[in-house]
């Protein structure tokens, strides 16, 4: 991390520490709210400037052009401080907790700085709330052998997911398809999109597993960030399983304050769309991320309508119905990934058109080996998710014979070492 960014991280953290104390001290509700607004404004303006500064200027220029005003904004040479989207939320969660009287202000700036900038989760999450982490700093963490070894195994699993599955077996096909400047046959588009669906899961889940494992090795406990998301039946189920720390953050601090589902149906639907719109924008300063978020928002609205209309239908309440709904969820999520991964709408629209048969004379660029590789990894991933959808990795490991646990761990470690890797950063580092 660059020294100016470290100073920025420290100053916003110190500011939130102070604001937290003010919120804690204030007796009147409106004063507490005022301090909370100050904290939210400070954090979000920092995020807005660094992450969305140029994006806002470009869109402002575009709007002015529409009304006939020619304006050339200066291009701000802003470097995005690594992890800003994550540590802003870490810090914000603290003032939210104090405002809600769930937590009292901490007296130790050192502990608060550690909670916000704890290195395993600083750069790419999971978003760890102050209420989950600060209490762990009350006593010096006691390291136990089992906890340390399990932490090591989670780190190995995370690196295996990242280095072997995401980077080696899936990223090549995704990069080829998304980077091809011309039309492709439908099979190649679909393989590229499905490969990306697998790549982003293994990349981000791997990153989270490494963070959880590293924290465990140091004696700290972080919550799960993924719970077998590709076995989701419906989109609300998907968001209970994918990037849980972000979705629960948005649920608790945005969706519920907006009224959640305890309001009229139209308002509840617009709440969902607003939350997913902001969730999309959180990922990056680009309209493609916004469309990705809006697409998920509309999926959630459609799902709610279907659930209301068809709650009692027999075909929705049996294993075949669940399997079909799970498959449809996966396909719809893959379609949304097109906007997440595509650099612009030209690529996204070309890809979507090709996926649904729009390119009769497209090129074939993926080798049979790549197609088989993606198919087998993604099939294995989905099968594992369905097998463990109501379970957890801890339960699965406990049920396994010891020799299988040992062999699997050794195999993953050997695969990481022999594979060497490509030195690619985790995808979520850029957010």
Partner 1 sequence: MRSSISNFKKRLRLPRLFFRKPSREEQIHGSPPLEFVRPIPPLPWRGITVVVVLIVLGATMVWELYCRLIGYGPTLSDNEDFWTLRRRLVEPESLVIIGDSRGLYDVDLDQIQKGLGKHPVQLAMGGSCAYPVLEDLANDRTFHGTIICSFVPRLFLAPPGTPPMERGEKAVHRFHNQTLAQRASEYLAFPLEEHVAFLNPHDLTLDDYLSELPIPNRPGTLVPPRLPPYFGTVDRERRTRMIQKCAEPNSALARRIQQIWIPLFTPPPPPSYVPKDVFFAQMDKAIGERFRGITIAVEKIRVRRGKIVFVRFPNGAGLKALEDHDPPREKTWEPLLKMTRASGIYYSDFPELAGFNCPEWSHLSASDSVEFSKRLVPHLRAALGM
Residue 24 or 260 with smaller CB distance to partner 1: 24
Closer Cβ to partner 1, 246 or 281, answer by number:
246
**Least spacing, CB of residue 108 vs partner 1, in Å:** 6
Q: Does 376 bind partner 1 (CB under 8 A)?
A: no
Report, in Å, the least distance between residue 198 CB and partner 1. Answer: 16
Which of 98, 294 has the CB closer to partner 1?
98
Contact 48, 7 (CB under 8 A): no
- The answer to whether residues 49 and 78 touch, using CB atoms and an 8 Å cutoff, is yes
Q: What SS3 string covers 358-393?
A: CCCCCECCCCHHHHHHHHHHHHHHHHHHHHCCCCCH
Q: Residue 277 contacts by C-beta under 8 Å, 6 or more apart in sequence?
A: 290, 293, 294, 297
- Binding to partner 1 by residue 84, rule CB under 8 A? no
Does the protein bind partner 1 through residue 358 (CB under 8 A)? no
At 183, list the tokens: 């039309």
Q: Is 24 in the site for partner 1 (CB under 8 A)?
A: yes
Give the residue among 425, 333, 421, 337 at the shortest CA–CA distance from 382.
333
Does 114 sit near partner 1 (CB under 8 A)? no
Q: Which of 11, 62, 119, 182 binds partner 1 (CB under 8 A)?
A: 182
CB 297 within 8 A of CB 277: yes
DSSP run (H or E) holding 289:
helix 287-310
360 belongs to the binding site for partner 1 (CB under 8 A): no
Report in angstroms how near the CB of residue 281 gets to partner 1 at its nearest: 26
- Position 318 contacts partner 1 (CB under 8 A): no
Does the protein bind partner 1 through residue 164 (CB under 8 A)? yes
Contact status: 245 vs partner 1 (CB under 8 A): no
Catalytic residues: 283
> Which position among 46, 92, 103, 377 is part of the footprint of partner 1 (CB under 8 A)?
103
Q: Please, what's the b/e burial string for 256-285 (b: 16 or more CB within 10 A of its CB; e: otherwise)? A: eeeebeeeeeeebbbbbbbbbbebbbbbbb
Beta carbon of residue 219, minimum distance to partner 1 (angstroms, whole number): 11
Give exposure, 31-54, as e/b (b: 16+ Cβ within 10 Å).
Answer: ebeebbebbbebbeebbeebbbbb
Residue located via tokens 């390291």: 143
Minimum gap (Å) between residue 423 Cβ and partner 1: 8
Q: Residue 114 CB, nearest distance to partner 1 (Å)?
A: 12
Distances (CA, A) of 254 to 97, 243, 275: 14, 16, 7
By CB under 8 A, tell whether 57 contacts partner 1. no
- 267 is written with which tokens? 């308002």
Place of tokens 């027999």: 314
Residue 391 CB, shortest distance to partner 1, in Å, is 8
Q: Is 368 in the site for partner 1 (CB under 8 A)?
A: yes
Under rule CB under 8 A, residue 80 binds partner 1: no
Question: Footprint of partner 1 on residues 377-406 (CB under 8 A)?
Answer: 391-392, 394-395, 397-399, 402, 405-406
Query: Candidates 39-47, 161-169, 226-234, 308-316 — which segment interacts with partner 1 by CB under 8 A?
Result: 161-169
How many binding residues for partner 1 (CB under 8 A)? 67
Alpha helices in 118-181 (DSSP H): 119-122, 130-133, 145-159, 171-179
Which residue, 220 or 239, is less far from partner 1 as judged by CB? 220
Whichever of 68 and 146 has its CB closer to partner 1, that residue is 146
Distances (CA, A) of 219 to 51, 145, 176, 214, 342: 33, 10, 42, 9, 40
Based on CB atoms, which residue is closest to partner 1, 187 or 302? 187
410 binds partner 1 (CB under 8 A): yes
Q: How far apart are CA 357 and CA 372, in angstroms?
A: 21
Are 176 and 367 spatial neighbours (Cβ–Cβ below 8 Å)? no
Give least dist CB 222 to partner 1, A: 7
Degrees (nearest 5) of the Cα angle 1, 148, 393?
95
Stretch that binds partner 1, among 144-152, 229-237, 265-273, 329-337 (CB under 8 A): 144-152
Contact residues toward partner 1 (CB under 8 A) are 24, 102-108, 111, 131-132, 134-139, 144-150, 152, 164, 168-169, 172, 181-183, 212, 216, 221-223, 361, 363-369, 372-373, 391-392, 394-395, 397-399, 402, 405-406, 409-410, 413-415, 417-420, 423
């Amino acid at each position: 991390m660059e020294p100016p960014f470290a100073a920025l991280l420290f100053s916003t953290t110190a500011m939130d520490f102070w604001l937290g104390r003010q919120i804690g001290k204030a007796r009147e509700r409106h004063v507490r709210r005022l301090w909370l607004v100050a904290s939210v404004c400070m954090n979000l303006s920092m995020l807005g400037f660094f992450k969305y500064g140029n994006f806002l200027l470009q869109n402002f220029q575009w709007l002015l052009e529409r009304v006939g005003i020619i304006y050339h904004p200066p291009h701000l040479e802003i470097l995005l401080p690594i992890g800003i989207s994550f540590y802003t939320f870490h810090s914000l969660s603290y003032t939210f907790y104090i405002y809600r009287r769930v937590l009292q202000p901490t007296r130790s700036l050192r502990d608060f700085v550690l909670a916000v900038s704890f290195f395993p989760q600083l750069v790419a999450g999971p978003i760890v709330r102050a209420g989950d982490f600060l209490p762990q700093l009350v006593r010096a963490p006691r390291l136990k052998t089992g906890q340390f070894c399990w932490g090591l195994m989670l780190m190995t699993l995370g690196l295996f997911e990242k280095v072997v599955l995401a980077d080696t077996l899936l990223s090549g096909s995704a990069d080829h398809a998304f980077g091809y400047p011309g039309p492709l046959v439908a099979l190649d588009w679909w393989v590229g999109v499905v490969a990306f669906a697998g790549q982003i899961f293994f990349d981000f889940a791997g990153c989270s597993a490494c963070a959880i494992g590293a924290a465990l090795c140091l004696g700290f406990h972080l919550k799960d960030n993924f719970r077998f998301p590709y076995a989701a039946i419906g989109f609300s189920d998907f968001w209970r399983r994918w990037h849980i720390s972000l979705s629960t953050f948005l649920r608790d601090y945005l969706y519920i304050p907006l009224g959640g589902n305890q309001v009229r149906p139209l308002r509840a639907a617009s709440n969902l769309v607003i939350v997913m719109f902001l969730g999309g924008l959180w990922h990056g300063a680009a309209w493609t991320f916004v469309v990705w978020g809006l697409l998920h928002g509309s999926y959630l609205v459609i799902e709610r309508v279907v659930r209301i209309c068809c709650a009692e239908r027999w075909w929705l309440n049996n294993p075949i119905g669940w399997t079909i709904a799970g498959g449809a969820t996966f396909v719809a999520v893959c379609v949304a990934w097109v906007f997440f991964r595509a650099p612009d709408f030209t690529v996204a629209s070309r890809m979507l058109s090709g996926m649904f048969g729009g390119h009769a004379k497209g090129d074939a660029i993926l080798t049979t080996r790549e197609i088989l590789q993606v198919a087998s990894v993604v099939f294995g991933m989905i099968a594992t998710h369905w097998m463990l959808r109501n379970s957890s990795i801890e339960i699965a490991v406990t049920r396994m014979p010891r020799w299988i646990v040992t062999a699997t761990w050794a195999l993953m470690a050997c695969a990481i070492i022999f594979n060497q890797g490509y030195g690619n950063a985790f995808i979520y580092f850029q957010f």
